[in-house]
Amino acid sequence: MTEYTTLLIERHDAVTLVRLNRPQALNALNSQVLAELIDVFAAYDADDSQHCLVLTGSEKAFAAGADIKEMQSQGFADMYSANFFAGWERVTDTRKPWIAAVSGFALGGGCEVAMMADFIIAGDNARFGQPEIKLGVTPGMGGSQRLAAAVGKAKAMEMCLTGRMMGAEEAEKAGLVARVVPAASLVDEALKTAAEIAAMPPLAAIAAKEMVNAAFELPLAQGVRFERRLFHGLFGTEDQKEGMAAFVEKRPGKWTGK
Ligand code: CO8
């Protein structure tokens, strides 16, 4: 397996566990982290043995934002010509499912990366926020859009305008996270959920992810049509034949991913 300087990678059967590992900077996201994550997510998508991925940080911080020290001296022309951080789209282009397991601070870019995941499982100590306004900027990695989609205008606007942090309990009530678990068992719980997903027929998992994501991009009628076409398409797979036969024969299905 490739060695990274800002990430720790573990394999748990069909689940890849990725830990952000810049403890000296509370996992602040710099260009190196992005380059390594792009590599890890591309490798995960291409690896037929891996069917779910968990991205996590440390107990104190999932990630405390984009690296302020890296951005501090940049001018408009630098940011614009480099299309700074546009590479995150390669992470959101990942076709297979992945979960963010958030403990501690998920601020600015950290909150934005967590929201790029298919869903978030939070430790009870998690704190989400978009404090960029205090630095004279705004969210820049999709935070204003994804936060508004997740929690609605009132809370998203309040958080982006005041930088207020939202705790785990409020985040669950608001729909930002799927589930809150004790911080001490966060990674185990996320791995358990990931293993459940990894045991599903892989093409149906990709299709389910694609269609739920379409709900945030397409008008309802187009989204429903898109869903129906993908549903029809799954009837061309071996796993649909196996899944329905297994149900009728009262046995577990065995998936080929074909
Ligand atoms: N960037 C760089 N270094 C950081 C960051 C960061 N975002 N966050 C923390 N650190 C560093 C600190 O500088 C400190 O380093 P040192 O020991 O060398 O001084 C170390 O991590 C530990 O941090 P603290 O001493 O501050 O720890 P505390 O426990 O006292 O406080 C906080 C923790 C509250 C999380 C605090 O560190 C903090 O407020 N951090 C910054 C949070 C923030 O503002 N995040 C938003 C950043 S901007 C952003 O994410 C924009 C995203 C969009 C970019 C898109 C571009 C296209």
Q: Does ligand 1 come within 6 angstroms of the Cβ of 67?
A: yes
Task: Provide the token pair at 240.
Answer: 């649909």
**pLDDT at residue 2, as a whole number:** 81
Distance separating alpha carbons of residues 127 and 61, to the nearest angstrom? 9
Distance separating alpha carbons of residues 168 and 123, to the nearest angstrom? 7
Best CA proximity match to 144, nearest among 122, 119, 127, 161: 161
Distance separating alpha carbons of residues 162 and 156, to the nearest angstrom? 10
**pLDDT at residue 114, as a whole number:** 98
Ranges of residues in the chain with a pLDDT under 50 are none
Q: How far is the CA of 80 from the centre of ligand 1 (A)?
A: 23
Work out whether the CA dihedral 118, 63, 145, 44 comes out positive or negative.
negative
Structural domains of the chain, with CATH: 7-198 (3.90.226.10), 202-248 (1.10.12.10)
Kindly report, residue by residue over 207-223, the tens digit of the pLDDT.
999 999 999 999 999 99
Q: How far is the CA of 56 from the centre of ligand 1 (A)?
A: 17
**pLDDT at residue 93, as a whole number:** 97
Give phi and psi for 47, each to the nearest 5: -95, 110
| Residue of 21, 22, 24, 26 with the most ligand 1 atoms within 8 Å of its CB, for mutation | 26
**Strand bridging mode 105-107 / 166-167:** unpaired
Q: Does ligand 1 come within 6 angstroms of the Cβ of 108?
A: yes
- For tokens 């958080």, name the residue: 159
> Please, which residues bridge with residue 12 across strands?
15
**pLDDT at residue 143, as a whole number:** 97
Q: How far is the CA of 28 from the centre of ligand 1 (A)?
A: 6
Which residues does the annotation mark as catalytic? Answer: 66, 109, 112, 132
Distance separating alpha carbons of residues 163 and 15, to the nearest angstrom? 34
